[in-house]
Amino acid sequence: MATAAATQSQPVRVVLRVRPHLPSEANSAEAPCVGLLGSHPGGEVTVQLKDQYTSRNECYKLDAFFGQESRVCEIFDQEVSAVIPGIFEGTNATVFAYGATGSGKTYTMQGTEDLPGLIPLAVSTVLALCTGTWCSVEISYYEVYMERCYDLLEPKAREIMVLDDKDGNLQLKGLAWVPVRSLEEFHEIYSIGVQRRKVAHTGLNDVSSRSHAVLSIRITTDVVKGKLNLIDLAGNEDNRRTCNEGIRLQESAKINQSLFALSNVISALNKKEPRIPYRESKLTRILQDSLGGNSHAVMIACLNPVEYQEAVHTVSLAARSRHVTNHMSLASKQETPKDKVDMEAKLRAWLESKGKTKSIQRMDGLLSPNAIKTPLSMSHKKQSASVRVSGRGKAMDQDGGKIKKVLFDSAARIPAENFHREGTQDIVNTTKKVVLPSLTPCKEDKTGSSLRKALSPISSNMDPQKQRTADDSNCLMLLELRTPMGSCNIVGKVTGATPLDKFIALGSNLKESLIQQYLDFLNVANKEELQKLKGIGERRAEYILELREDSPRPFKSLSDLGNIGLSSKQIQDILCKTATGIFK
């Protein structure tokens, strides 16, 4: 039996699972955004997340990687089966499936009729181990929805009270524990609970899980021994990219908050901090007796192979502090300035959103031939030719059998050069400073003033300390427009771009600049300055500083703000207030 989870050095193992492309995604030309970069002697792996449209990529060290072709039973054998004997000896354990909506959490935990998930596999293993002993098995099944806990095995959704008894032990008052003697019996009970979860809060048969569902299996003799929690977490959602509103937006905010709290607990446990913030959410409070201490825990971070931003968000929250410097990204930065590629992608996205297909075609005409001829893309061709794929996502070089290179599961289907889409387009990355006079010198709202102070030092070569003082005195807003010249040039070059097109493009660049300055502020400001921003309290400020210890500039895009638990709405509010402050 694999002992990975049982002999873990970290209180919470974090493993990655990438689901296959779905039939609806099969025609997409997108290579999976995540791949295995290498394995280490202690069992750890390095995985790389890569955006095929830009040169952005991130590397993380994790405990295991399960690629697109791996099956649930492999995850069970390597990560879950090892913790089961412990529950017969009184040790608790927890296995979570964590990830964005549609990333395969339910598939992994529940499975299908033909391919059982971790839950049925665990129940059948526990039942088998009980055979011929005095042990019996009981299950409970409940959900945490909007910070409340409901029993899914009761015909009428009953709220469960989460209490501490006089000895400080956690009690889930009112939770039903149902004896289970066979797998058939389990399926019968469990499937009713699953159905209840689907319709409980909307009345509709919702495909997306809006609650965290906890299936607990406990072993009893004359006393309760240990228990195993198998949790299908609700999917985290980026509300900027969804049409969520009303109750759906509230649900989403609660889900994101509780996932952030869970991430805080896991991070604190893995860093062996003296205080573990279990009380930050209902879910973490409930799991207090099965997460940390001598319990075993495995987090399975599930990834959708075509969603890079989502993947970064999921992995960075699941594996905080395990981000590693990616030398490849530095190299590619030197060869091909990232901003150039970003700007092309941004311009393309903008033109697409405006339905300007002709402009895109013209832009392709202007840009693509160069990109195809670049020595860099040629070198990627060579590289892909020298890599062959073997077995389940193992890449080998042609002269040896040794694992050597990035192995993306569908590398056989999609050439490696598609992954590295660094172009060498002829776009000038010009930096231009625009001085906007402040109409309300030195009297701004909290958000505006602290951001203003922070914006200036970044936008100049001046010593940040000196610049800060200078800015305090004149309160001028310096906005560094990072790439508008480049993009304007593109728009200008595209015959047919109207003055309105150019104006809108500039407007969107201004917005980009403001966002970039805000991110830069988070990357450089000290704790006191950070706390002056709306939405950033002491804990968040400390966490930002913590992230900066792991990676010098952890905030590269707005989606990275999800890593500090800010909801999309909060982010939008902050930026709107900041922008309004500038023009007042």
Ligand X SMILES: Nc1ncnc2c1ncn2[C@@H]1O[C@H](COP(=O)(O)OP(=O)(O)OP(=O)(O)O)[C@@H](O)[C@H]1O
Residues that bind ligand X (CB under 6 A): 19-20, 22, 99, 101-107, 208-209, 235, 302
Q: Which is nearer to ligand X, 20 or 85 (CB)?
A: 20
C-beta nearest to ligand X: residue: 235
- In angstroms, the CA 427 to CA 376 distance is 17
Supply 509's token pair. Answer: 């660049």
Q: Whole-number minimum distance, CB 408 to ligand X, in Å?
A: 16
Q: Which is nearer to ligand X, 102 or 226 (CB)?
A: 102
Burial of 2 (0-12, 13-18, 19+ CB in 10 A): middle
In this structure, the strands spanning 148-151 and 136-145 are antiparallel
Of residues 532, 483, 533, the one with CA closest to residue 511: 483
Cα R_g (the chain), whole angstroms: 26
Q: Which is nearer to ligand X, 123 or 302 (CB)?
A: 302
Q: Whole-number minimum distance, CB 197 to ligand X, in Å?
A: 10
Q: Whole-number minimum distance, CB 231 to ligand X, in Å?
A: 12
Supply 88's token pair. Answer: 């017969």
Annotated binding residue at 104?
A: yes
Residue 561 φ then ψ, to 5°: -70, -20
Alpha-carbon 416 to chain mean position = 24
Q: Whole-number minimum distance, CB 5 to ligand X, in Å?
A: 20
Annotated binding residue at 99?
A: yes
Annotated binding residue at 91?
A: no
Q: Which is nearer to ligand X, 115 or 224 (CB)?
A: 115
- In angstroms, the CA 517 to CA 3 distance is 47
Q: Whole-number minimum distance, CB 37 to ligand X, in Å?
A: 22
Residues in CB range of 119: below 8 A, 6 or more apart: 109, 110, 111, 190, 215, 230
Q: Which is nearer to ligand X, 108 or 295 (CB)?
A: 108
Supply 80's token pair. Answer: 């879950």
Annotated binding residue at 117?
A: no
- Residue whose pair of structure tokens reads 């593109």 in the numeric block: 490
- In angstroms, the CA 398 to CA 514 distance is 48
Q: Whole-number minimum distance, CB 212 to ligand X, in Å?
A: 10
Annotated binding residue at 100?
A: yes
Q: Whole-number minimum distance, CB 21 to ligand X, in Å?
A: 9
Annotated binding residue at 495?
A: no
Annotated binding residue at 316?
A: no
Beta bridge partners of 36: 47, 407
Annotated binding residue at 268?
A: no
Q: Which is nearer to ligand X, 71 or 272 (CB)?
A: 71
Q: Which is nearer to ligand X, 106 or 290 (CB)?
A: 106
Of residues 146, 157, 231, 145, the one with CA closest to residue 192: 157
Question: How many residues are listed for the chain in this entry?
Answer: 584
Q: Which is nearer to ligand X, 32 or 104 (CB)?
A: 104
- In angstroms, the CA 512 to CA 330 distance is 23
Q: Whole-number minimum distance, CB 109 to ligand X, in Å?
A: 8
Q: Pick out the residues of the known binding site for ATP.
A: 99-106
Q: Pick out the residues of the known binding site.
A: 99-106
